[in-house]
Each structure stands twice: as C-alpha cells, then as structure tokens.
Amino acid sequence: MTACIVGWAHTPFGKQDAESVESLIVRVTNEALEHAGVEAGDVDEIVLGHYNAGFSQQDFTASLVLQADDALRFKPTTRVENACATGSAAVHTAMKSIEAKQARVVLVVGVEQMTRTPPADIGRYLLKASYLPEDGDTPAGFAGVFGQIAAAYFQRHGDQSDALAMIAAKNHKNGVSNPYAQMRKDLGVEFCRQESEKNPYVAGPLKRTDCSLVSDGAAAVVLADVETALKMNRAIAFRAASHVQDFLPMSKRDILKFDGCAEAWRRALAQAGVTLDHLSFVETHDCFTIAELLEYEAMGLAPEGRGAVAIKEGWTQKDGRLPVNPSGGLKAKGHPIGATGVSMHALTAMQLAGEAGDMQIPAATLGGIFNMGGAAVANYVSILERLR
C-alpha cells in the first residue's frame, strides 16, 4: 500500500447550465481540499482528467485547477486522457507519483461538460474512442458500437433482453439513493424491458434505458502517502491497482470476452491477495447495460455466456452476494467522461468510510472499481480498503 484517499468532493451530475469546465474544476478542488483538511500550499502535484475531444472550446485545461487557489501556482500539473477511463488514468497517475516518492500529497480532479454540445456532435466526439478506420461510420455513434456488441452476444448466447432490463432497473433503483445522480427515479423492470415512445430502440437490441446519460459534472480526490494519511481524518488505501491496455480495433480480439477487463481483474485480485468473494461491492463501468453483463463474466462472477445468472439470481443487487453499482452506476448517475473514474473512486471511498448515506453497503470493508475506455480497450481496476 503506497497511497490512500484522504478526502473527496463530487458535484451533482446532469445538465449544469450555470457551470463551466473551469467553475466545476474550481468547485471540487476547493471542496476536496477542505474535506481532506489539506491546505492548497501543501499539495505536491495535481493531475486533471479531462477527455474533451471537442466538448469544450478550452482544450488546454490543466492549469485551470490553479484558478481555485493562488497557492497552487507553480505546482506540477498534468492533464491525462484515456477515453472513458480518463478519470481512473488520473487517479493511477497520482498514485504512481506517490509510490515513486515524487509526491506526498496529490490532488486529482476529473471533469467534463457535455450537454452544451449538439446531439449530432456528441455522437461524433464519443465515437473518437473507437477505431475510426473500422467504426468511424457506425450509425448511432458509440451506442451503435455497443449495439453491435449486444447483437453479437445475443447471436452467440441467446436473447438477453430480460437480463439487460433487470440491470438497468437495478441501477436506476440504486440511483434513487445517490444525491449526485442525474436520474433519481426507479423505472422498474417492465418499463426498461418494453419498447415505448419514452424508451425506443437506440442501436441494435439496446433501448434508451440501456444507455448511460450525457452529463456535466466533476469529482476530485486527494491522495496521500500512507504515513501522511494515517495522521489525517480518513485513510482509504489502495490494496491493489492494475491497468491493462488492449488493441483498439475490435477485429483483433473477441469483443464478447472483454479480455482486457478480465486480465485487469486477475492482476488486481492477485496483487491484493483476495478473491472476488472478499469484496463488499463493486462500482463497474455500465456505459451500456451489455457492458455490465460482459463485466460480470470478465471479473469471474459468472461463466462466459452466462452473465445473466448474476442479475437474475439477485447476486448483484444491493443486498446480494456482490452488490454492483450501489451508486446507480453510469446508467443512473450519468457519465461525464473525464469525471467518471474519479467519481467511482470517491464513491467507493465514501462507502468504505461509512459516509455513503442512503447508498451505504453495511459493514463494507473492500471495494472494487472497474473503469474502462472504449470497448474494453483501457481497463483500470482498483481495490480499496479502509485503514482509518
């Protein structure tokens, strides 16, 4: 264990017309430092996760963090990007600086503002996270990519529409308890299962309720080395952290196996010296419901082709064998790209600190996080536990 989360901040996700990328960054920076009890001058390094790809006209955003406090001036500050795993890329980058003893305290901020962008441009910007020579003309953008994945899964393993509806309904039910979630409404399985005017098909077998939300928002975490963290109010340690990058073209791999996700989980569990059964809950990357289904299999919760058993048997419900997305996941919470991975780490730390409010998993001791960029191209797993 080389780093701990000692404080965090999280804006509500959704349509934030009164905010800008800059104001969101400044807000969570100040709130996270206050929550951690850290003075701006004591921060050794700053890492910003911001995907952008055209969503913001301001594309050189690293130094916007310095707008929060003049004492942050001259701190080494870097923006990182790894598609939808940008937030976790920022967190893992910060952790490595601490591990290398180049920093004692690192501030990590993740941000995105997407809702001001016209819908046609949103689809085009998100599709940049695919392999454009093969997927650049995919109808419905990135939803179309996962629609193709869902259709291929149905062809190989049978129609899984019931399972996808149950995943969507679970996450929306959990999202009701999340004060930061964009959609806090229990939609129910029946609504998620049936095509309707309010729930039309978007791509392949995926309906609107199978797709995460376009969102604005920011989250921040403060990391410190273990020695420093143990002197502070909270110390949520990284028991393990792994990053696995896979081929970008889907044609170079069996996309229904999410091999990069599986390898990241194998490495993280081995590093932590635990099995999946030891985890109290998991926050996983449900950009589309088919992704969560595939992740059940990749993490080893269910055999290949049988991910549906995990949701149908109630294993992933909040009171089940392994609660998955007690926050409501990307499905209910929203998916501001650069903020997502940082949000996952903040929400997991809240759970382990016993500060998750109505989202709280009783007696949570170990939390798992899976955040991915593209279609299981960038794969990040963190396993966190509370030291104090």
Mean pLDDT of 289-305: 98
Residue ranges and CATH numbers for the domains of the chain are 4-117+214-229 (3.40.47.10)
At 118 the pLDDT is: 95
Report the mean per-residue pLDDT for the chain: 98
Exposure b/e, 4-37, CB count within 10 A at least 16 = b: bbbbbbbbbbbbbeebbbbbbbbbbbebbbebbe
Mean pLDDT of 192-197: 98
Q: How many C-beta atoms lie closer than 10 Å to residue 60's C-beta?
A: 9
At 305 the pLDDT is: 98
Cα–Cα distance between 25 and 354 in angstroms, integer?
26
| Strand extents, DSSP E, the chain | 4-10, 45-49, 77-80, 105-113, 201-203, 206-207, 216-224, 236-245, 281-283, 366-373, 378-386
The amino acid that residue 132 corresponds to is: L
**pLDDT tens digits, one per residue of 199-237:** 999 999 999 999 999 999 999 999 999 999 999 999 999
In SS3 terms, 181-195 reads as: CCCCCCCHHHHHHCC
Q: Residue 74 burial by CB count (10 A; 0-12/13-18/19+): exposed, middle or buried?
A: exposed
**pLDDT tens digits, one per residue of 305-338:** 999 999 999 999 999 999 999 999 999 999 999 9
Cα–Cα distance between 238 and 92 in angstroms, integer?
10
Task: Please state the pTM of the whole predicted model.
Answer: 0.98
Q: How many C-beta atoms lie closer than 10 Å to residue 378's C-beta?
A: 25
Secondary structure element (H or E) that encloses residue 132, with its range: helix 132-135
Among 359, 352, 299, 343, smallest CA distance to 4 is for: 352
At 1 the pLDDT is: 77
Q: Tell whether the model's pLDDT for residue 44 goes beyond 80.
A: yes
